[in-house]
Structure 1
Amino acid sequence: MNWVFRGRAHKFGDGVPLDNGFIPFRLAIGRVTDPQKLIPHLFEDVRSGFADAATAGDVIIGGTDFASGKPHAQGFIALQAMGIGMICESMPYNSLRAGVSSGLAFLTGCMGVSDMFEDGDGIEVDFSMGRVENLSSGESRSFPPLDSSLREIIDAGGSKGVLRRWWSEKQPVTMSGDMP
């Protein structure tokens, strides 16, 4: 995984919920997990046209209590599939778990990060080191990165990636060296 993202900042406020914020509740409750079905609906309830405007390398900037509510992972699945990272001032613990499980590159506990950016500013983030730079203003700050054990899960592609790796290591190898 490439831990350095460079693109545009998409600034959101405080308290943006996962359901009817990141993704419509009907998709979460419908258990839709196909990223291609989720992406067109990303942030449609709070910022129409987001999915068309955002590109890989862009970073979501969130305020406090970001990704609140039930920890449905559909919004994180869509962000990860688009190659978009996320930084926020705070988020609920269960949402943190869902972000890690989805393989999303993100930072939380970044107090003051919202003040660093205007919507559309250029941004570069090294998620492994916690370094955040506003390429438009030149301002740079360092925040605590996620713990290395959580970054390992994200680097594997989330919980599915960890389980795939574990499963492949546990399977017997055939005489040809192929996995059964």
Structure 2
Amino acid sequence: MSDRSTEGNRWFLRGRCRKFGDDVPLDGGLMPFRFAIGRVTDPAELIPHLCEEIRPGFHAEVRRGDILLAGRNFCAGKAHFQGLLAIEALGLGIVCESMPYNSRRIAVATANTFLTDCAGCTALAEEGDELEVDFATGRFANLSRGTVHELPPMDSSLRDIVAAGGSKGVIRAWLAAHPEQGVAA
């Protein structure tokens, strides 16, 4: 599991706002569909293509700790995980007004740090604003504007899965604790 925060705390990120609107799809928005069809799972292959169809060069502009601030229905469409793998590998956080249920499941499974159900959150910052977000408490600070808002925090049960490294991390930990259940070679 990688430490994604700028303060040594996985649930606290400080970075620039990367603002998106409503209905950003997983396929064609976050990641070209060809990577889902090709079943590409290597973050090094995926990162250069993050948002390339809607924001060319995006992967080169972001830095660890940046926050994707999005409107309603972020990660819309089929729940392909390639875009969320790239977001996690880059160490970005997500704050959005809403995210489809299956996309939430994929975000947890791929160990992404996110806040959702944050009505009106896109009005809290503009592209490039300096933000601090505590995903455990829901504290959202826009350092550029000098404002602080309380948003719904990430549920503790989901944080446990994300902290373990997503679904693969949970399975690895369970197998380590229960070696008798391991797969025979």
Quick check: TM above 0.5? yes
In structure 1, what is the Cα distance between the partners aligned to 2:72 and 2:147?
21
Q: TM-score, normalised by structure 2?
A: 0.91
In structure 2, what is the Cα distance between the partners aligned to 1:146 and 1:82?
20
1:134 corresponds to which residue?
Answer: 142
1:65 corresponds to which residue?
Answer: 73
* Helix, strand or coil at the partner of 2:16: strand
1:122 corresponds to which residue?
Answer: 130
In structure 2, what is the Cα distance between the partners aligned to 1:26 and 1:106?
25
- What letter matches 2:102 in structure 1? N
In structure 1, what is the Cα distance between the partners aligned to 2:58 and 2:116?
22
* Helix, strand or coil at the partner of 1:60: strand
Q: TM-score, normalised by structure 1?
A: 0.93
1:88 corresponds to which residue?
Answer: 96
The alpha-carbon deviation at position 146 of structure 1 amounts to 2.2
The alpha-carbon deviation at position 170 of structure 1 amounts to 1.0
1:135-172, Cα deviation, whole Å (9 max, x unpaired): 10011111111221111001111001101111111126
* Helix, strand or coil at the partner of 1:133: strand
Structure 1: gaps of 5 or more residues: 173-180
1:97 to 101, 105, 113: 105
1:177 corresponds to which residue?
Answer: none
In structure 1, what is the Cα distance between the partners aligned to 2:59 and 2:94?
15
1:63-114, Cα deviation, whole Å (9 max, x unpaired): 0011100011111111111110101000110000000000000000011110
1:9-47, Cα deviation, whole Å (9 max, x unpaired): 000000000000000000011110100000000000111
Q: Do structure 1's residue 38 and structure 2's residue 42 form an aligned pair?
A: no
1:175 corresponds to which residue?
Answer: none
RMSD: 0.9
Q: Tell me the matched-pair count.
A: 172
Structure 2: gaps of 5 or more residues: 4-9, 181-185
Q: Percent identity?
A: 53
- What letter matches 2:163 in structure 1? D
